[in-house]
């Protein structure tokens, strides 16, 4: 049984939940596997910390809350501080390299993949809003949570009609960046 | 720094609770500035000032002001405040809450408190939506505006708040936007100094929900709209001040009338009927 | 503290339970009542509205029960002793504010003169159907105190008890009358004021800045405060810390909610008022409260005349439920008959608390009239056989 | 439409040439720019600096224009800024 | 009857429990919803308000929960399938109309997405604290049905069950979600419309003049009717006879109230939905519902890995409480742990129903988060020792 | 007797429930006569007429009319009727209830239904008191009048019902007394024929409680007072029609305005926004 | 003040000399005398007879005055009386 | 122990409850014994049947509901019909002789005392409203439920201030009529 526990955390507005939802959709709809997503927010309507716990599995998932994460996507320093302890020696840490500074709390064996996602979204696509798509593409390349195609289909079916193109573009940018990273 | 002057609002705040939870560009805080200044101008002793809120973003005001303050239940700030005002006739009781809280679920209490002329000032932050719960339609959401429960645009008609409150006999009724900080402050001062049921509607931006959903830009853009489309018409007939979606806004002090307060009425009547047998009502002694 | 002699109607009276309840509240120091008329409770507020103007008190008839049930809490935070009065349909409307009183620890008395339900039911006829509602009717976890008087005299006496318990435990206290007791006239002796023990509100003497309104300094309850004392207090229905500030996390929730529960449950024995009569060695013990306890007394008298060994346990305190008492009685009798004017409410508690040591029988009634003593005796015979 | 008061404020300040300055509690600011936009004299501007929450902070870009009218203070929804009049010849220490 | 294919969103979805509940209601034929926003339930009505205009349905956001909770009953008597949706504070406000639905036998679905209380409590955080309120929250005697789904899929499936039970039993049916389940996304398979069994409303075919709306002709329920069919029906919250006319006497009360109770309790077994897993011979059996049942499943899995003999009884139907089931389980296990996100509500029923044959332990939580699986396992070990 | 003509009200009554519980000289029954005649004149098909009441003496009307009729809970007739009206757009829904029911506990529902322009006719029997519960004060009890909870005379101010309802946008607002049987009948007819939220206040004697306590004689004496002190002023400004204790009474049809109903608004808006995707709302099919 | 309609009713009847009569359901009557007092022609009077509940019943004291206008029927709160116009020459059988 | 169970029943407006209350007051306040009163009404605000169950005893009374009455005061035919079955062989039946017609359901041994109370109130006192006082006076003379003086004091303290005189007058009329009755 292949099961992956993924934590995505960042600030409101970074598209954290949407990101988690696309992973869940990819798995449960486009791969006919199972997924759960549990979300949490601060009390503020805006600007508060926001976290998604995503689980993807071949079998139904009873308990949707993460004890240790297989993959942790850290999109802000606060997020990193809060959940770095969840990492295991074989976890994958994906982070926004211009917003998050790592330290020695990352387990030695954990893989780390940083990407300046905000800048890529702003500079390459010209829209800060696709930041989460960049991150998703990147994630797709550096992990094997779900198939690339399932993920791309989930992106298309999740974004507002008419915006598929540039969202996928952002996704692909992130994916490409990841491939480079791995290669390097 | 002892030499540093202080923001007049500072004295009113529970500073240990700052920063507050309101969004960037939300107007609620602006109204609180005006309130702080009005308290100074009206010469209110903080010890005798009590603030009561219902539930909502605006309802959080009670939690941030450093006076006896009560965060009650959704829609019920006014009846709580009524009891409080009865117990403390020498105090100034202010109800600070949102349009949904005061006019949706709380509508009945509002009209009855106005009818009875309970001695309180009601400040209604009207942001045209339920902020706290994510932007649903309220009785003030303008026709055609979108809301999370009106995804295709609101099709209901709104209340004209000043008119409704006027019809129930409020002794002071004003409307301002948070662009009108000085005027709002002045009206608040007046309301605080007017015995009986006074009411101030404060139009305020909710960039996060109302505006985002309606593509109306940020806080500044809403305040700019308030600035551009408002006309001051003191004494305007309240029947004529209804609001439409991004339409013209009539602001001003609409109603000033004299009526004995609830407690005054009580004391007068009982005195008349019972004479010496009556023990004049004074609340807590 | 003693009652205010100017307010106490010392002497012997022939009045109904509703009026006696009003007089009890007055003697206990209640000077503010917010209510909304509803049969069969209205006479309480009618009497209050006649009496208050001569006592410096104020009755306000609010626009509905929702308003009443929070208006009086506003007055309490303003420093007054206060209550609200209603019957079933009104009580249902008050449920949200029972929870508010619980979480803000407002010393609040809710008088419920029970009629037959559900819904509008039989507005003028009796029942005891709001027992579980008093305990469980609001959302969330909380505890309450509930008393059931069984005579006009007790309506007077225990209205005072209710106010005193509210002050001691700072929680919602239900005064669960029933239509029979509310509308029945009887002899009521009102003692001299100096014979009436009244628990004064324990206002803090700590200076502003050094006082947190939801902190326990000593004892089991935080110290009370009122608006206008200069403490700039804050109360909220949100989960809050000891200053009264919202603190929205499970830890604060755990601390607060368990404290609110324990401050009552830890004192179940002190709060519990009951009468036990000839229980030891009995073949059956009747458990009853309110008017049904009067019927039970008569039925027991008839049964004993026939030589049956019947005990009687009359509960005046309904909540917190006294598990220990029931367990002890269960050790000394052979079976229980729980008699109530409902289809079985308190019987659940007796079943649970008695841990099935002995059989628990229910003598129920759908409401609208009392359980006839003959039915009672029949049931006793059935059980004893 | 311009509101009456607003206009008055501006003109009075220009007549008397009052001087003023502002104080900012940076950690409270949420960068809404109300203060900047509604300062009647144009004394403020959004600066490049961010506070710890990442919000852009306003700054007194044209200190000479500030008359201490405190409109910024009235407008600021976050209680993060306020203006004061300076007594004649007074200079501000902590800008 | 089968669901309407035009309305059913057949396919595989990754949605949260709230949305799934809305889709289930739609599939069940619900075409009118009256509600009032409240966290964490609002997404249900938000989703409904997006979907209904394409389905000939109508969502109305009423001025409050009191209005919502009777408005939808008006629509039901007008002939629609309808529901209302809320969370704790709103549910407290609906209590009077739960009783109305009970006494008028209105097939009504009340959705409650539970958050932590009492009072405003923790509006965004989970709890299971409204369980007893659903049963006892309104004044008077009456019975209800309550279901607790434990996944988005069940939110869809059992929303349909809830509507079907409402039609079958003509009583208030509570759909007791919790914040975790409401806001958790998961895979939801919505079958084709012809795979979805929907109980159609059983409108009478008796001609006007020969039909009494509260008479039992055959079966256990009176036949339904709607306004506009020409029967000149009358409904009232007063105690009424079979024509629906007020009849204010204890006899009518007795007949009516007992029938309203028995029509549900006599069918407890049919209404009861549960899952029992490895109970026979277990050292301890966990009883849980809602999200806690998911945690329990995980904790049981962990405990079994350690070789402990743990059974799991998951209740989907909470009310009517299945005494028989608990008694049977008690015969086959050595102890109970009732796990719930409250300070002990359903545990009272388990204690009562199990008749103290075996020890009943409570694993409680004050709300605001789930019971951690580690705590769970620890408790299991403590009990098994 | 086949030849005997029939009282037009007879057809409307659940005759098996007669005599009703109302007191000698109570005016509620008189208003029902007018209602029966209005139904004839407005040509209403009884099958499509639904009457909803709250709780009170006036609230018993629903129990006596031989149409689909619903006796709900205290104060909540209007929201029940709202749901019913939504399910049955082709029906005429009439809310028949008392002043306490509609304006004390039920005030919020009333103002919101008026705002939304729900298609219903509200008939408010205003007897200045809570009859059913024994004569307590209501929001319409005139200043100084005695009530069981106002033993020394009422000291609260009242609602001006037509004004309040007007401020919320009711499309038709009238007031008559039960002396004005013909005019009341005509206004009821008009209300029944007007789509949207229409409101009629009917001043009515309560000899048993209100009058007895205030020494105002029997039913006839009250109706005589109505006769003597009423002036008909159709189109009067509702702000000017407030009532005092045994004072002058302005009666008439005060407001007639056109507004789309709630369902019309819904259908129009959704049609506009969703076009063909919208399935026009028709209630129960 | 007299209301407009009321006056009209009376005059119209006097012009045309219409004839009418009333029907009484005695067991419903509660003796309030609305019918008597508000009959525009004074055709009715409270009689000495009591019904089974002990209420005094109205009677058509001046049958010739009755024009069948049904004001009595409109006023009667107990649905106990109503008036009908008689066709010309018609006589009433059960007075 | 001397205990008397008294049923008073008539129509609303006849002062039934007030009558019962005066008896209860007499016993509990002016004789320092015990009394209870339980009342019941029909659903109508006016004109419905109205009944009071009064118990008077030397000891506290547990059960205030009448099974068999020692004294039955019947003020209307309906009242008589409804409660005649409560009479025992040694009961006392007091009735308004112009409103109530007795029949053979009255137990043979029961004492019967009729008085035209309404007429006495109207003709002798000129006020229909004092009817219940006439009946009470009559009751006081033909039974020994409470002492005469206690009853007279209870009347004085129960009627509106200023009306004591004619109420007592009515009471005394009834009492005198009763004495005559007994003598005859
Ligand atoms: C009884 C109850 N119903 C619903 C809610 C949920 N609720 C909280 S705030 C709110 C709306 C607040 O809107 P408004 O008063 O306009 O304040 P805003 O947030 O817009 O300032 C609602 C519906 C609640 N807390 N209690
Ligand atoms: C929730 C609730 N509160 C109170 C009552 C008691 N109650 C019944 S009718 C009524 C007042 C009715 O007054 P109004 O509407 O003026 O009708 P009227 O009897 O005067 O015709 C009240 C308070 C109730 N039935 N339900
Ligand atoms: S959601 Fe709207 S009202 Fe609430 S704090 Fe944010 S901007 Fe203000
Ligand atoms: S005080 Fe503020 S608003 Fe006024 S001029 Fe200076 S910067 Fe501008
Ligand atoms: S108004 Fe206040 S919060 Fe906004 S930018 Fe200026 S200082 Fe910052
Ligand atoms: S109490 Fe008043 S309103 Fe009620 S029926 Fe009697 S007269 Fe009419
Ligand atoms: S019908 Fe009636 S009201 Fe008209 S004249 Fe005849 S008796 Fe009079
Ligand atoms: S109006 Fe009707 S009830 Fe009154 S006296 Fe005439 S017939 Fe009888
Ligand atoms: Mg708002
Ligand atoms: Mg009334």
- In this complex, do B68 and C231 lie within 8 Å of one another by their Cβ atoms? yes
Question: If contacts are CB pairs under 8 Å, which of residues 34-53 in chain H contact chain C?
Answer: 34-39, 41, 43
pLDDT band at G5 (very low <50, low <70, confident <90, very high): very low
Question: Residue E209 domain-assigned?
Answer: no
Q: Which two structure tokens, joined as six digits, stand for E228?
A: 């506009």
Per-domain residue ranges for chain G?
Answer: 19-85
Measured CA to CA, the distance from residue F244 to residue F235 in angstroms comes to 20
Domains and CATH numbers, chain F: 10-260 (3.40.50.970)
Which of A63, A150, A153, A160 would you mutate first to test chain E, the one with the most E CBs within 10 A? Answer: A63
State percent of chain G over pLDDT 70: 75
Q: Which CATH architecture fits A3-183?
A: 3-Layer(aba) Sandwich (3.40)
pLDDT above 80 (res A43): no
Name the nearest CA neighbour of G65 among G2, G18, G4, G8.
G18
The pair phi, psi for residue C360, each rounded to 5°, is -120, 120
Class of domain D19-85: alpha beta
- In this complex, do E63 and F108 lie within 8 Å of one another by their Cβ atoms? yes
- H59-62's contacts with Cβ under 8 Å and 24+ in sequence apart are H59/H1, H59/H3, H59/H34, H60/H34, H61/C186, H61/H3, H61/H34, H61/H35, H61/H36, H62/C294, H62/C297, H62/C298, H62/C301
Helices (H), chain F: 28-41, 61-64, 77-87, 99, 107-116, 161-167, 181-193, 212-213, 219-229, 262-274
- In this complex, do C46 and F149 lie within 8 Å of one another by their Cβ atoms? yes
* C278 shares its domain with C191: no
Residue-level pLDDT at A47 = 66
| Average pLDDT value over all residues in chain B | 97
**Closest residue to atom 8 of ligand 5, CA basis:** D29
Name the nearest CA neighbour of A2 among A35, A41, A51, A30.
A35
pLDDT band at A44 (very low <50, low <70, confident <90, very high): low
pLDDT band at B243 (very low <50, low <70, confident <90, very high): very high
Question: Residue E222 domain-assigned?
Answer: no
pLDDT band at G2 (very low <50, low <70, confident <90, very high): very low
3-class SS of residue B285: coil
Q: Which residues in chain C are closer than 8 Å to F152, comparing Cβ atoms?
A: 53
pLDDT above 90 (res F59): yes
Atom of ligand 6 at shortest distance to CA of F208?
7
pLDDT band at A48 (very low <50, low <70, confident <90, very high): confident
State pLDDT tens for residues C165-177: 999 999 999 999 9
| Average pLDDT value over all residues in chain E | 97
* C178 shares its domain with C319: no
Angle at which helix A131-142 crosses helix A148-158, to 10 degrees, equals 160
State pLDDT tens for residues C330-353: 999 999 999 999 999 999 999 999
- Report which bound ligand comes closest to the CA of F133: 2
Of E163, E195, E227, which residue is a domain's last? E195
Q: Tokens 């099935």 label which residue?
A: C356
* E191 shares its domain with E284: no
Question: If contacts are CB pairs under 8 Å, which of residues 112-151 in chain C contact chain F?
Answer: 119-120
Nearest CA distance, C281 vs chain B (angstrom): 52
Low-confidence ranges of chain H (pLDDT < 70): 1, 43-47
Report the length, in residues, of chain E. 385
Asked if residues C82 and B83 have their Cβ atoms less than 8 Å apart, the reply is yes
State pLDDT tens for residues A20-38: 999 999 999 999 999 999 9
Measured CA to CA, the distance from residue F77 to residue F75 in angstroms comes to 6
* E148 shares its domain with E288: no
- Residue C353: closest C-alpha in chain E: E352
Domain count, chain E: 2
* Dist. CA A89 → ligand 10 center (Å): 76
**Closest residue to atom 5 of ligand 3, CA basis:** B22
* Dist. CA H57 → ligand 2 center (Å): 39
Residue in F117, F152, F158 nearest the CB of B273 = F152
What ipTM goes with this model? Answer: 0.96
Low-confidence ranges of chain E (pLDDT < 70): none
* C156 shares its domain with C304: no
* Dist. CA G31 → ligand 8 center (Å): 5
In angstroms, how far is CA C50 from the centroid of its own chain? 24
Nearest CA distance, E158 vs chain C (angstrom): 23
Cβ contacts below 8 Å, chain E against chain F, sum to 155
Report, as an integer, the average pLDDT of F245-251: 98
Residue-level pLDDT at B5 = 84
Residue-level pLDDT at G14 = 45
Ligand 9 is a single-atom ion; what residues have CB below 5 A from it? B 98-100, 127
Chains H vs A: touching, with 3+ CB pairs under 8 Å? no
- In this complex, do B137 and E39 lie within 8 Å of one another by their Cβ atoms? no
Name the nearest CA neighbour of B141 among B151, F273, F271.
B151
Nearest CA distance, F120 vs chain B (angstrom): 16
Atom of ligand 7 at shortest distance to CA of G60?
7
pLDDT above 90 (res G6): no
Question: Residue C225 domain-assigned?
Answer: no
pLDDT above 90 (res D91): no
Q: How far, in Å, are B112, E60, F124, F164 from residue F107 at the CA level?
A: 9, 19, 12, 10
Per-domain residue ranges for chain A?
Answer: 3-183
Report, as an integer, the average pLDDT of F170-199: 98
A182 interfacial to chain E (CB closer than 8 Å): no
- Residue B105: closest C-alpha in chain E: E64
pLDDT band at D9 (very low <50, low <70, confident <90, very high): very low
Q: Tokens 């020696």 label which residue?
A: A89
Q: Where are the beta strands (DSSP E) in chain C?
A: 11-16, 30-35, 58-61, 81-86, 108-116, 122-126, 145-147, 172-178, 185-190, 234-236, 274-277, 284-288, 310-315, 317-319, 336-339, 360-363
pLDDT above 70 (res F210): yes
Q: Please state, as a whole number, how many other Cβ atoms lie within 10 Å of the Cβ of residue C273.
A: 17
Contacts of A among chains (3+ CB pairs under 8 A):
B, E
Q: Which residues in chain B are closer than 8 Å to F160, comparing Cβ atoms?
A: 167
Atom of ligand 8 at shortest distance to CA of G33?
5
Of E165, E195, E225, which residue is a domain's last? E195
Report whether residue D45 contacts ligand 5, using a CB cutoff of 6 Å: no
Residue-level pLDDT at H47 = 66
DSSP letter for F8, please.
Answer: T
**Closest residue to atom 2 of ligand 6, CA basis:** F206
Chains A vs F: touching, with 3+ CB pairs under 8 Å? no
Residue-level pLDDT at G89 = 55
Report whether residue E37 contacts ligand 1, using a CB cutoff of 6 Å: yes
Report, as an integer, the average pLDDT of G43-62: 92
Residue-level pLDDT at G1 = 35
Among A46-50, B153-157, D27-31, F151-155, the minimum mean pLDDT is found in A46-50
DSSP character string of B238-267: GGG----TT--EEEEEEEE-----HHHHHH
Residue-level pLDDT at D48 = 87
The pair phi, psi for residue D23, each rounded to 5°, is -120, 140
Q: Please state, as a whole number, how many other Cβ atoms lie within 10 Å of the Cβ of residue H183.
A: 6
Domain with residue E289: its CATH number is: 3.40.50.920
pLDDT above 80 (res F4): no
Of E195, E225, E254, which residue is a domain's last? E195
Query: Containing domain of residue E380, as a range?
Result: 274-384
| Average pLDDT value over all residues in chain C | 97
Report the length, in residues, of chain H. 184
State pLDDT tens for residues C77-108: 999 999 999 999 999 999 999 999 999 999 99
Q: Which two structure tokens, joined as six digits, stand for C28?
A: 């206990």
CA dihedral (C38, C41, C44, C50) positive or negative = positive
The pair phi, psi for residue E175, each rounded to 5°, is -110, 100
Among A11-25, B174-188, G11-25, G26-40, the minimum mean pLDDT is found in G11-25
Contacts of C among chains (3+ CB pairs under 8 A):
B, E, F, H
* Dist. CA B190 → ligand 4 center (Å): 25
Residue, of D47 and C76, whose pLDDT is higher? C76
* Dist. CA B210 → ligand 3 center (Å): 9
State percent of chain D over pLDDT 70: 75
Atom of ligand 2 at shortest distance to CA of F74?
26
State pLDDT tens for residues B19-38: 999 999 999 999 999 999 99
Nearest CA distance, F150 vs chain C (angstrom): 7
The partner residues of D24 in beta bridges, in order of sequence, read: D81
Which of C139, C172, C246 would you mutate first to test chain E, the one with the most E CBs within 10 A? Answer: C139
């Amino acid at each position: 049984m292949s099961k992956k526990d993924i934590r995505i955390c960042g600030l409101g507005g970074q598209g954290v939940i949407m990101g988690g939802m696309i992973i869940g959709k990819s798995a449960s709809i486009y791969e006919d596997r199972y997924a759960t997503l549990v979300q949490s927010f601060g009390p503020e309507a805006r600007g508060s910390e926001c976290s998604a716990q995503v689980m993807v599995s071949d079998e139904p998932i009873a308990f949707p809350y993460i004890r240790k994460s297989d993959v942790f996507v850290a999109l802000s320093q606060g997020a990193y501080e809060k959940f770095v302890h969840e990492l295991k020696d074989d976890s994958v840490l994906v982070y926004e390299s211009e917003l998050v500074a790592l330290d020695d709390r990352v387990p030695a064996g954990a893989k780390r993949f940083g990407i300046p996602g905000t800048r890529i979204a702003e500079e390459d696509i010209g829209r800060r809003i696709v930041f989460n798509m960049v991150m998703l593409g990147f994630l797709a390349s550096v992990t094997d949570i779900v198939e690339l195609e399932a993920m791309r289909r989930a992106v298309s079916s999740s974004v507002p009609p008419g915006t598929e193109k540039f969202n996928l573009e952002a996704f692909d940018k992130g994916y490409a960046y990841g491939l480079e990273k791995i290669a390097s | 720094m002892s030499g540093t002057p202080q923001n007049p609002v500072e004295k009113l705040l529970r500073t240990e609770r700052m920063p507050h939870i309101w969004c960037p560009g939300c107007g609620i805080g602006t109204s609180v500035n005006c309130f702080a200044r009005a308290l100074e101008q009206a010469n209110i002793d903080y010890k005798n000032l009590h603030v009561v809120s219902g539930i909502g973003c605006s309802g959080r005001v009670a939690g941030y002001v450093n006076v006896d303050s009560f965060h009650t239940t959704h829609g019920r700030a006014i009846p709580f405040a009524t009891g409080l005002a009865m117990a403390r006739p020498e105090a100034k009781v202010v109800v600070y809450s949102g349009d949904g809280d005061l006019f949706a679920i709380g509508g009945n209490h509002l009209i009855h408190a106005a009818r009875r002329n309970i001695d309180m000032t009601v400040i209604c932050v009207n942001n045209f939506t339920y902020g706290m719960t994510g932007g649903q339609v309220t009785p003030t959401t303008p026709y055609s505006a979108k809301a999370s429960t009106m995804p295709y645009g609101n099709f209901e008609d709104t209340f004209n708040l000043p008119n409704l409150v006027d019809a129930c006999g409020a002794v002071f009724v004003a409307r301002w936007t948070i662009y009108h900080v000085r005027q709002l402050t002045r009206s608040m001062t007046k309301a605080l100094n007017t015995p009986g049921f006074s009411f101030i509607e404060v139009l305020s931006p909710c960039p996060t929900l109302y505006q985002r959903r309606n593509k109306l830009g940020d806080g500044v853009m809403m305040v700019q709209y308030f600035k551009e489309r408002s006309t001051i018409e003191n004494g305007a007939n309240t029947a004529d001040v209804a609001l439409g979606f991004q339409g013209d806004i009539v602001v001003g002090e609409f109603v000033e009338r004299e009526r004995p307060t609830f407690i005054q009425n009580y004391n007068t009547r009982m005195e008349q009927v019972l004479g010496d047998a009556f023990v004049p009502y004074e609340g807590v002694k | 503290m003693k009652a205010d002699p100017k307010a106490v109607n010392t002497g012997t009276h022939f009045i109904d339970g509703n009026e006696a309840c009003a007089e009890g509240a007055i003697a206990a120091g209640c000077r503010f009542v917010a209510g909304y008329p509803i049969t069969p409770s209205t006479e309480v507020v009618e009497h209050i509205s006649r009496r208050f103007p001569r006592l410096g008190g104020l009755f306000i008839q609010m626009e509905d029960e929702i308003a009443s049930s929070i208006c009086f809490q506003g007055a309490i935070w303003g420093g007054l002793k206060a209550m609200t009065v209603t019957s079933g349909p009104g009580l249902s409307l008050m449920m949200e504010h029972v929870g508010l009183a619980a979480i803000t620890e407002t010393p609040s008395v809710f008088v419920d003169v029970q009629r037959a339900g559900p819904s509008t039911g039989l507005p003028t006829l009796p029942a005891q159907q709001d027992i579980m509602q008093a305990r469980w009717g609001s959302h969330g976890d909380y505890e309450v105190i509930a008393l059931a008087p069984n005579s006009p005299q007790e309506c007077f006496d225990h209205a005072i008890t209710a106010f005193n318990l509210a002050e001691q435990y700072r929680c919602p206290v239900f005064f669960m009358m029933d239509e029979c007791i509310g509308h029945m006239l009887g002899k009521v002796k009102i003692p001299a004021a100096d014979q009436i023990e009244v628990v004064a509100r324990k206002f803090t003497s700590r200076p502003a800045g050094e006082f947190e309104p939801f902190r326990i300094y000593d004892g089991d309850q935080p110290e009370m405060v009122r608006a206008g004392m200069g403490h700039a207090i804050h109360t909220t229905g949100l989960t809050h810390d000891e200053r009264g500030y919202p603190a929205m996390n499970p830890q604060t929730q755990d601390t607060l909610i368990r404290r609110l529960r324990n401050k009552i449950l830890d004192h179940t024995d002190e709060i519990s008022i009951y009468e036990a009569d000839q229980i030891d060695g009995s073949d059956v013990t009747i458990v009853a409260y309110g008017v049904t306890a009067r019927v039970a007394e008569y039925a027991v008298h008839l049964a004993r005349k026939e030589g049956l060994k019947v005990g009687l346990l009359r509960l005046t305190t309904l909540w917190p439920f006294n598990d220990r008492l029931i367990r002890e009685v269960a050790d000394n009798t052979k079976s229980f008959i729980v008699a109530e004017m409902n289809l079985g409410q308190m019987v659940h508690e007796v079943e649970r608390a008695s841990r099935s040591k002995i059989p628990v029988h229910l003598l129920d009634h759908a409401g609208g009239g009392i359980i006839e003593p003959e039915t009672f005796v029949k049931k006793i015979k059935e059980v004893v056989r | 439409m311009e509101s009456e008061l607003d206009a008055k404020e501006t003109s009075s300040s220009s007549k008397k040439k009052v001087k003023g300055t502002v104080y900012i509690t940076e950690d409270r600011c949420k960068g809404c720019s109300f203060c900047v936009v509604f300062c009647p004299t144009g004394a403020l501007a959004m600066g490049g600096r961010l506070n710890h929450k990442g919000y852009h902070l306003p700054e007194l870009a044209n200190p000479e224009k500030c008359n201490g009218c405190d409109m910024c203070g009235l407008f600021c929804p976050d209680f993060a800024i306020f203006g004061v009049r300076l007594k004649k010849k007074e200079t501000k220490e902590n800008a």
